[in-house]
Structure 1
Amino acid sequence: MIRFASLGSGSAGNALLVESGATCLMLDCGFGLRETVARLHRLERQPADLAGILVTHEHGDHLGGVFRLARKYALPLWMTHGTWAASREAEAGLDLRLIDSHRSLTIGELEVLPFPVPHDAREPVQYVFSDTLRRLGVLTDIGEVTPHVRDVLSGCDGLVLECNHDAGMLARSTYPASLKRRIAGRYGHLENSVAAGLLRQIDCSRLQHIVAAHLSERNNQPGLAVGAIAQALGCAESWVGVATPDSGFAWRVLQ
């Protein structure tokens, strides 16, 4: 059985918890130390419960709180060499474990498979978590869906999927043209219809949960993201979850 919950998801900060048995991992931490502890408490967890922290890439909304949390509570850190190099952090006081972006690793009761994604970072990855029976795929901060991404995510039992922006809202926004190009480009973020298109291209027959994540507060609306996903899956909109910036989402279970 896999359990997963979000501390918050958006441009202000991201953190996800994934559990199996006695193993609880945090994926990214873009919140300050006090805020992270408070959000863990909301999910009935504390830093001492964590087996460690996995990192996707070096952007502040994913990495900003990682090093302080890891040092204070002596937590192992897993990230790619490129992410580590781009972080410009001193290694002192860290239990750092560099990973291969194509090789799975076992942490406690979870098998963790990193996979590379196109994004404007040094060596970004996303992850699939498995307890040998169930698979949870996490895909945020990706500009373009690749064949490898489709292969890795096909057949998952749960998905946390980026629905960052709506193309029309982004085009009409007051963002500078350069920022609009970055967000919508092949190293930016997934648009609602592109996320929905991914779901049409992979095996979703085992899906128990899907959560739209990393929604832009300025260039998207939850209803637009949920509608796109529900149409792609042919399901009721009420079945599609949304990770919010303030409260993420509560525990969900893959059985």
Structure 2
Amino acid sequence: MKFASLGSGSEGNALLISSASGTTSTTVMLDCGFPIRETERRLQSKGLAPSDLAGIVVTHEHQDHVGGVFKFARRHRIPVWLSFGTYQAVQKQCDGVIVHFCRDGDRLAIRDLELIPYTVPHDAREPVQYVANDGRYRLGVLTDAGQSTPHLVAALGGCDALVLECNHDRQMLVNSSYPYSLKQRIGGAFGHLSNDTTAEILAALDKSRLRMVVGAHLSQQNNTPELARQALLGVTAGSGIEVMIACQEEGFDWITLQE
């Protein structure tokens, strides 16, 4: 299994997950918050064409995650998976797109990959995040959640790699120029994960197989890569688990999970 990001942050998100089995390979895109041409450009930078995608899997309806999904899927005839609640929020955009529904705990079989959605606390209609499995390795993804829950901790346990939201530093958010209502939303129980909360989640997880953690969805105004890195290293130091940080402009290049 390997995975890469086309970009991660409030201006757009897209994560690629790929697995090969014998002579076949499967690549899915998790969310797409970029315009068509920008998505095509970013895919090309990772060595892929739209025709290489077996599907697009959606977490929720916010524009930085779903803004480019349906136009891109329609142009390139790519099927889309999403929760029914998310579909209700975006159904006017779905004409001409092959849509499949998923829900918490359902296993999605997309050729060589299996994805398991799990519910998270976020201010959207029916938000889910995903754990991807190719039969050998597990990749857990968690962005756009306001707090830890036993359910998400259980879902992410035993993964080989994790992509975890480190949206904001709490003090930077408090001191920011954002309106009070926006600070309350971001820092609230259905907003986004602070560095500290993500570290607490990571500490609570079964890390027996974990070898890589990527901090993602950083606020450009209310966080820094170094603060996010320090929070994750506070949990993983001395464990041999590698830590890196995704960026908005380039995401990160392919990371391969192998023996």
TM-score range, shorter chain: over 0.9
DSSP 3-state at the match of 2:32: coil
| Alignment partner of 1:65 is 2:29 | no
From 115, 125, 137, the equivalent of 1:112 is 115
Q: Name which of 169, 178, 182 aligns with 2:185.
A: 182
User: Does 1:128 pair with 2:128?
Assistant: no
**2:84 aligned to 81, 86, 94, which one?**
81
Contact 2:211 2:241 in 1 (8 A): no
Q: How does 1:135-150 map to 2 (within 5 A)?
A: 135-150=138-153
Aligned match of 1:42 in 27, 37, 45?
45
TM-score, scaled relative to structure 2? 0.96
Q: Give 2:228's match in structure 1, choosing from 211, 225, 230.
A: 225
CA contact (8 A) 1:162 1:195 kept: yes
Give 1:92-103 correspondences, 5 Å limit: 92-103=95-106
> What is the Cα deviation at residue 236 of structure 1?
8.6
The answer to whether the aligner puts 1:26 opposite 2:29 as a matched pair is yes
* Cα distance in structure 1, aligned partners of 2:183 and 2:102: 32
1:64-108 deviation digits (Å, cap 9, x = unpaired): 000111000000000000001011424421101111222112110
Select which of 167, 171, 176 maps to 1:168.
171
Cα distance between partner residues in 1 of 2:227 and 2:241: 13
RMSD: 1.3
| Distance in 2 separating the partners of 1:75 and 1:89 | 17
- TM-score by length of structure 1 reads 0.97
Structure 2: 5+ residue stretches without partners? none
Secondary structure (helix, strand or coil) at the match of 2:92 reads coil
Distance in 1 between the 2:234 and 2:15 partners?
26
- Provide the C-alpha distance between the structure 2 equivalents of 1:237 and 1:180, rounded to a whole number of angstroms: 35
User: Secondary structure in 2 aligned to 1:26?
Assistant: strand
CA distance in 2, matches of 1:141, 1:38: 25
CA distance in 2: counterparts of 1:147 and 1:53, whole angstroms: 27
Matched, 1:243 2:222: no
Cα deviations by residue, 1:11-68 (Å, 9 ceiling, x for unpaired): 0000000001110000000000000000000000010000010000000000000011
Query: What are the Cα deviations for residues 170-219 of structure 1, in whole angstroms up to 9, with x where unaligned?
Result: 00000011100000000000000110011111111211211000000000
- SS of 2:199's equivalent? helix
Counterpart code for 1:163: C
- Opposite residue 11 of structure 2, the aligned amino acid is A
Whether the 8 Å CA contact 1:230–1:236 is kept in 2: the answer is no
Unpaired runs of 5+ in structure 1?
none
Which letter maps to 1:8?
A: G
C-alpha distance in structure 2 between counterparts of 1:200 and 1:210, whole Å: 12
In 2, Cα distance between equivalents of 1:92 and 1:194: 39
Whole-Å Cα distance in 1 between the matches of residues 257 and 161 of structure 2?
7
Matched-pair contact (CA < 8 Å) for 1:109–1:131: yes
